[in-house]
């Protein structure tokens, strides 16, 4: 049986094989110097704005912030930071997807920031953490310690084109989020009306499929009470009847709308590597999709005249509670960082009201800082998604989170393609992830995980 030590050593070796050099700017260490892996080249201007604002404060007037825009390697690929930490070339601060926090903390890649809070703040870590929405703190917590500060967040809902729905004779009141939450049956009926098939039997207009875009197993799992982990028993629960119902949803939809036919539709109207302006939704060929608030800026830029609107994710029965999940970024401190007061002040500024007020409205996402939420420091067109936050949650903060995501996604595709049944899919997922999680015997997620996250004014 593989040991936890050999499992982690293997992960380290895999990362080291790829290699990564030190920060390009290679700053000399000092009490006011912070090396920072930022948002990425496309968003360098946002980092620059926050840094400029920070340097105008008393805490930041002598700060030297050296930024490298290190490109992301994806949700599950941590080879860059593994290599940098092991080689002693990691930055002091890193903008990281929150979803990776627990896994990275579990293999020693991140420093806990509890000591920084206790050293530089006049409140306890618990009181300090209360400034941010709870699920974003849960996602950065491992074995009772905090490993970063949350920055942006989001939520998931349905995007629809009013023109397409009107032309198909769909009742638009079903999609009015202020007065109604659409059910799966109502969504199915609407899609039947939207679909158009040409003389060759190909879709020339399509309604919706649950495996498209943000239609991840977690997306529907949260609405079907599919729990990935039993915290009380410390066991993975990916083979439950609820998880089987998630995959049955994919199977039922694929039986009605074959995966290959849907794939051919997108190959025609939204081919791979098409420019962002060329989508099936923007061209009027797709009626409904699963997405989030980040889509607002694309709508405004590429289809400003289209009546594109959002609503809640579908529920099983009328009257059921709404659901969604939220991801987002965070600032973390890689192991071996120069943990100075300047680093802490910059980290706190960026993730606090000031930094989020600068960055979040430009992204089109939502804040995690409660003051930034109540002061509406976000695109006003994202208000629906803001209403989702109190009932939202994050993906389960587990040390095998990335492996679990990959397993769920892989079997989603196999069920939609018809190469696996829902029952086979959940057994496969359990078999892949259960033994990995056994390496972390007795692991507990935060007690607050999965519970409502109060937001003042909601």
Q: pLDDT, tens digit, for every residue of 35-46?
A: 999 998 889 999
Cα–Cα nearest to 306, from 194, 162, 208: 162
What pLDDT, on the 0 to 100 scale, is given for residue 83?
86
| Paired residues of 94 in beta bridges | 37, 332
263-279: pLDDT as tens digits: 999 999 999 999 999 99
How confident is the model over 420-436, as pLDDT tens digits? 999 999 999 999 999 99
Q: Give the dihedral sign, CA 99/312/225/145.
A: positive
Q: What is the pLDDT of residue 85?
A: 87
Q: Contact 306/329 with Cβ under 8 angstroms?
A: no
Between CA 455 and CA 153 the distance in angstroms is: 14
How high is the pLDDT of residue 180?
97
Average pLDDT over residues 220-225: 97
pLDDT at 21: 35
Q: Is the pLDDT of residue 4 over 60?
A: no
Whether residue 28 is predicted with pLDDT greater than 80 in this model: the reply is: no
Q: What is the pLDDT of residues 348-385, one digit of tens each?
A: 999 999 999 999 999 889 999 999 999 999 999 999 99
Query: Which candidate, 450, 368, 435, 436, places its Cα nearest to that of 402?
Result: 436
Domains and CATH numbers, the chain: 4-154+326-391 (3.40.190.10)
Between residues 343 and 23, the one the model is more confident about: 343
Q: Note the residue count of the chain.
A: 458
Percentage with pLDDT > 90 across the chain: 85
Per-residue pLDDT, 16 = 34
Q: What is the pLDDT of residue 76?
A: 54
pLDDT exceeding 70 applies to what percent of the chain? 92
Average pLDDT over residues 83-106: 92
Q: What is the mean pLDDT of the chain?
A: 91
Residue 74: pLDDT above 70?
no
Q: Which band of pLDDT confidence, cut at 50, 70 and 90, is reported for residue 20?
A: very low
How far from the centroid of its chain's Cα atoms is residue 117's Cα?
26
From the list 372, 334, 373, 332, the residue with the least C-alpha distance to 352 is 372
List the one residue out of 401, 343, 456 whose CA is nearest residue 140.
Answer: 401
Predicted pLDDT at 454: 86
Read off the pLDDT band of 116 (50, 70, 90).
very high
For residues 288-304, give the mean pLDDT: 96
Burial level of 243, CB count in 10 A (0-12/13-18/19+)? buried
Measured distance CA(110)–CA(142) in Å, rounded: 11
């Amino acid at each position: 049986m593989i040991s936890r030590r050999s499992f982690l050593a293997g992960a380290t070796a895999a990362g080291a094989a790829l290699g990564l050099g030190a920060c390009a700017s290679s700053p000399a260490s000092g009490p006011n110097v912070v090396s920072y892996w930022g948002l990425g080249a496309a968003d360098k201007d946002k980092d620059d704005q926050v840094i400029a604002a920070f340097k105008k404060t008393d805490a930041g007037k002598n700060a030297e912030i050296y930024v490298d825009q290190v490109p992301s390697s994806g949700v599950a690929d941590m080879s860059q930071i593994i290599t940098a930490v092991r080689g002693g070339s990691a930055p002091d601060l890193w903008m990281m997807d929150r979803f990776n926090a627990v896994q990275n903390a579990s293999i020693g890649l991140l420093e806990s920031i509890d000591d920084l809070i206790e050293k530089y703040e006049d409140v306890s870590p618990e009181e300090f953490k209360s400034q941010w929405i709870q699920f974003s703190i849960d996602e950065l917590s491992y074995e009772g310690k905090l490993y970063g500060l949350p920055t942006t967040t989001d939520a998931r809902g349905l995007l629809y084109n009013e023109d397409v729905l009107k032309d198909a004779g769909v009742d638009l009141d079903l999609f009015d989020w202020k007065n109604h939450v659409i059910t799966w049956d109502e969504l199915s009926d609407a899609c039947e009306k939207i679909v158009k098939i040409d003389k060759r039997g190909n879709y020339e207009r399509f309604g919706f499929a649950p495996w498209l875009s943000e239609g991840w197993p977690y997306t529907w799992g949260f609405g079907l009470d599919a729990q990935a982990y039993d915290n009380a028993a410390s066991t993975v629960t990916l083979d439950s009847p609820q998880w089987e119902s998630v995959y049955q949803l994919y199977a039922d939809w694929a039986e009605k709308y074959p995966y290959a036919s849907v794939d051919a539709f997108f190959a025609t109207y939204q081919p791979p590597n098409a420019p962002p302006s060329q989508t099936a939704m923007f061209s009027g060929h797709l009626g409904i999709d699963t997405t989030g608030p980040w889509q607002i800026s694309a709508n405004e830029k590429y289809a400003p005249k289209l009546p594109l609107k959002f609503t809640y994710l579908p529920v099983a029965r009328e009257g059921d509670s709404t659901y969604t999940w939220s991801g987002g970024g965070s600032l973390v401190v890689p192991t071996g960082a120069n943990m100075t007061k300047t680093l802490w002040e910059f980290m706190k500024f960026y993730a606090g009201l000031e930094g989020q007020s600068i960055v979040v409205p430009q992204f089109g996402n939502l804040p995690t800082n409660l003051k930034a939420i109540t002061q509406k420091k976000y695109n006003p067109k994202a208000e629906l998604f803001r209403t989702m936050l109190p009932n939202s949650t994050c993906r389960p903060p587990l040390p095998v989170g990335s492996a679990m995501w990959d397993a769920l996604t892989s079997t989603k595709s196999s069920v939609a393609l018809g190469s696996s049944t829902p029952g086979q899919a959940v057994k496969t997922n359990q078999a892949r992830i259960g033994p990995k999680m056994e390496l972390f015997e007795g692991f507990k997620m935060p007690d607050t995980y999965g519970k409502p996250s109060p937001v003042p004014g909601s």
